[in-house]
């Protein structure tokens, strides 16, 4: 036992989440085998436990966007330099982050690794779209993208390569475009709330923070337990900026040529990082049950004389609970305590323990990962119990995360209060003038950035907390990842 206890210490998380969150985060990602940094700075290896989460996000979201008529495609990773240059704001915004390859195109042109695919896709769109019959055009791709980050990289949260989806739609009218831009954002809210069990703020980005080349950017922002905001997904109304730059035109039912309206929208593997930070605890990872690939682990309590019977019963349970993809941990070289820690670290939502006494009583011990609460459940009831607990645990995790977010929001009117609140790692709601330079000044002075703006609540009396000018909107500010 002494040796195993020793082994547990290094295998388990050695720091409290509240004491040192960056260290805790790195340990959970590594020890729960979600992801690890590559030898190449800023790149990550997504291990099977992390990849399963992404695949379940994919399945959930892909089914949703198909109901809008979105179809998947795949465009080349390599983008010619001249494409980037066509939309000025876009080119300027991505300039610093683009990685180029050594080989040139046949014409001698430089080729970039895509940081996002607007330019290469819209060049094709300009050939594919001829008439109003070709619209709306709704295309999505699941792929890898590259952004040569220079600041601190961290698995899932900020890496030079990550996985994402990017949707790119084209519409006849501005109204349709704006409507769907917001609807795809709402689908991101569903991913966060209904699948990953945490709440998000939704709103517009300020002029300062919007996507390079967009008319309007909508965002979902999650609050991490260290008070930093994490941008989770964005949906951009691109207006006609790219249509102009790439010569996308269609002949309307009026036989006249028109410029169409476009949007683009994306979520990435960054979402997995949010799941880790929001839900994890000092024992390790906690998987929201709906996104968990393996929802249940079964740990038999083994004694020499009853071993065969107990394992046989566990195998019966495996069969009965197949829809939850249960794991049977019948390894003989580890004791139950070791196994409990092993699966708690990896965040499996439900544990069933079954020993000879349980067998006699025809029951199992049922343990929820987030609360650690133990219950004795009749074997005949266990399937129903798990079904019920999936929604219950999801609801409890969501409520807890929601409360954490709400209690961390403060409203301020003056810069002094704002400064204090930034130090206290709060999510700060304040009236703002909407001025680009004023916002830049706030960022320089406090390192807090504008996460999103809410236009409807502002009144004539409200003044910018920083410069005192007439407020244009209310906005949320926070430090961010």
Dist CA 93 CA 57 (whole Å): 28
Nearer of residues 41 and 445 to its own copies, judged by Cβ: 41
* Contact call for residues 65 and 140 (beta carbons, < 8 A): yes
| Stretch near its own copies under the rule CB under 8 A, chosen from 20-28, 35-43, 309-317, 385-393 | 35-43
Dist CA 446 CA 448 (whole Å): 5
Residue 21: name the closest of 143, 183, 154 by CA.
Answer: 154
Question: Taking the CA of residue 51 as centre, how many other CA atoms within 13 Å lie in the half-sphere pointing to its CB?
Answer: 6
The residue from 1, 39, 63, 322 that contacts its own copies (CB under 8 A) is 39
The residue from 24, 75, 198, 343 that contacts its own copies (CB under 8 A) is 75
Distance of CA 5 to the CA centre of its chain: 35
Q: Under the criterion CB under 8 A, does residue 113 sit at the interface with its own copies?
A: yes
Q: How far is CA 417 from CA 228, 421, 463, 472, in A?
A: 18, 6, 14, 20
Q: Under the criterion CB under 8 A, does residue 146 sit at the interface with its own copies?
A: yes
Q: How far is CA 288 from CA 24, 30, 47, 389, 391, in A?
A: 19, 19, 18, 11, 10
Nearer of residues 71 and 445 to its own copies, judged by Cβ: 71
Dist CA 160 CA 149 (whole Å): 6
Dist CA 339 CA 356 (whole Å): 18
The residue from 20, 88, 92, 105 that contacts its own copies (CB under 8 A) is 105
Q: Under the criterion CB under 8 A, does residue 48 sit at the interface with its own copies?
A: yes
Distance of CA 357 to the CA centre of its chain: 43
Nearer of residues 55 and 92 to its own copies, judged by Cβ: 55
Nearer of residues 81 and 174 to its own copies, judged by Cβ: 81
The residue from 47, 208, 283, 383 that contacts its own copies (CB under 8 A) is 47
Shortest Å distance, C-beta 18 to its own copies: 30
Q: Under the criterion CB under 8 A, does residue 111 sit at the interface with its own copies?
A: yes
* Contact call for residues 33 and 47 (beta carbons, < 8 A): yes
Q: How many residues does the chain have?
A: 481
Cβ-based neighbour number of residue 81 at 10 Å:
16
The residue from 16, 22, 71, 388 that contacts its own copies (CB under 8 A) is 71
| Stretch near its own copies under the rule CB under 8 A, chosen from 158-166, 403-411, 417-425, 444-452 | 158-166
Dist CA 14 CA 306 (whole Å): 36
Nearer of residues 75 and 171 to its own copies, judged by Cβ: 75
The residue from 3, 10, 19, 40 that contacts its own copies (CB under 8 A) is 40
Q: Under the criterion CB under 8 A, does residue 27 sit at the interface with its own copies?
A: no
Nearer of residues 124 and 435 to its own copies, judged by Cβ: 124
The residue from 87, 161, 209, 281 that contacts its own copies (CB under 8 A) is 161
Dihedral sign, Cα of residue 32, residue 38, residue 41, residue 44: negative
The residue from 7, 99, 130, 308 that contacts its own copies (CB under 8 A) is 99
Nearer of residues 117 and 389 to its own copies, judged by Cβ: 117
Phi-psi region of 445 (alpha: psi -120 to 50; beta: other; left: phi over 0): alpha
| Stretch near its own copies under the rule CB under 8 A, chosen from 10-18, 102-110, 378-386, 440-448 | 102-110
| Stretch near its own copies under the rule CB under 8 A, chosen from 32-40, 182-190, 216-224, 233-241 | 32-40
Q: Under the criterion CB under 8 A, does residue 51 sit at the interface with its own copies?
A: yes
Dist CA 361 CA 363 (whole Å): 5
First-to-last alpha carbon distance for the chain, in angstroms, is: 42
Dist CA 139 CA 162 (whole Å): 20
Dist CA 329 CA 311 (whole Å): 10
Shortest Å distance, C-beta 217 to its own copies: 26
H-helix segments, 321-381: 336-345, 356-361
Nearer of residues 116 and 446 to its own copies, judged by Cβ: 116
Distance of CA 324 to the CA centre of its chain: 23
The residue from 148, 330, 365, 470 that contacts its own copies (CB under 8 A) is 148
The residue from 102, 254, 304, 461 that contacts its own copies (CB under 8 A) is 102
Nearer of residues 144 and 447 to its own copies, judged by Cβ: 144
Interface with its own copies (CB under 8 A):
36, 38-41, 43-48, 51-52, 54-55, 71-78, 80, 99-103, 105-106, 111, 113, 120, 123-124, 133, 139, 143-144, 146, 148, 160-161, 163, 331, 333
């Amino acid at each position: 036992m002494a040796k195993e206890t020793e082994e547990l210490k290094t295998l388990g998380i050695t720091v409290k989440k509240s004491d040192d969150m960056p260290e805790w985060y790195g340990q959970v990602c590594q020890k729960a085998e979600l992801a690890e940094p590559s030898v190449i700075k800023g790149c990550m290896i997504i291990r099977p436990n992390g990849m399963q989460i992404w695949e379940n996000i994919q399945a959930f979201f892909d089914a949703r966007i198909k109901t809008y008529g979105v179809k998947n495609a795949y465009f080349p990773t390599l983008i010619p330099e001249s494409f980037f240059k066509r939309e000025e704001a876009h080119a300027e915004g991505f300039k610093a982050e683009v990685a180029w390859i050594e080989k040139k195109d046949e014409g001698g042109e430089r080729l970039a690794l895509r940081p996002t695919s607007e330019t290469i896709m819209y060049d094709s769109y300009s050939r594919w779209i001829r008439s109003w019959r070709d619209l709306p055009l709704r295309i999505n791709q699941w792929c890898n993208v590259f952004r040569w980050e220079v600041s601190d990289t961290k698995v899932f949260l900020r890496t030079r390569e990550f996985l994402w989806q990017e949707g790119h739609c084209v519409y006849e009218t501005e109204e349709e475009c704006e409507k769907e831009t917001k609807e795809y954002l709402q689908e991101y809210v569903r991913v966060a709330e209904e699948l990953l069990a945490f709440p998000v703020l939704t709103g517009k980005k300020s002029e300062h923070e919007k996507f390079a080349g967009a008319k309007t950017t909508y965002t979902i922002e999650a609050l991490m337990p260290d008070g930093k905001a994490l941008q989770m997904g964005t949906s951009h109304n691109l207006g006609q900026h790219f249509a102009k730059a790439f010569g996308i035109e269609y002949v309307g039912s009026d036989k006249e040529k028109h410029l169409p309206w476009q949007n683009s929208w994306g979520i990435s593997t960054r979402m997995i990082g949010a799941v880790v930070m929001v839900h994890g605890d000092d024992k390790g990872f906690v998987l929201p049950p709906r996104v968990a690939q393996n929802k249940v682990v079964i740990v038999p309590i083994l004694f020499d004389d009853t071993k065969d019977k107990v394992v046989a019963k566990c195998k019966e349970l495996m069969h009965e609970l197949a829809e939850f993809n249960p794991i049977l941990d019948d390894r003989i070289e580890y004791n139950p305590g070791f196994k409990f820690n092993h699966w708690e670290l990896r965040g499996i939502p439900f544990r069933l323990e079954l020993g000879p006494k349980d067998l006699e009583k025809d029951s199992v011990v049922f343990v929820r990962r987030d609360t650690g609460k133990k219950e004795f459940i009749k074997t005949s009831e266990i399937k129903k119990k798990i079904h019920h607990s999936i929604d219950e645990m999801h609801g409890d995790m969501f409520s807890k995360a929601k409360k954490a977010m709400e209690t961390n929001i403060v409203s301020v009117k003056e810069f002094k209060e704002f400064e204090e609140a930034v130090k206290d790692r709060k999510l700060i709601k304040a009236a703002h003038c909407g001025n680009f330079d004023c916002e830049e000044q706030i960022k320089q002075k406090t390192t807090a950035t504008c996460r999103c703006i809410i236009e409807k609540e502002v009144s004539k009396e409200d003044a910018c907390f920083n410069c005192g000018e007439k407020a244009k909107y209310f906005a949320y500010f926070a430090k961010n990842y």
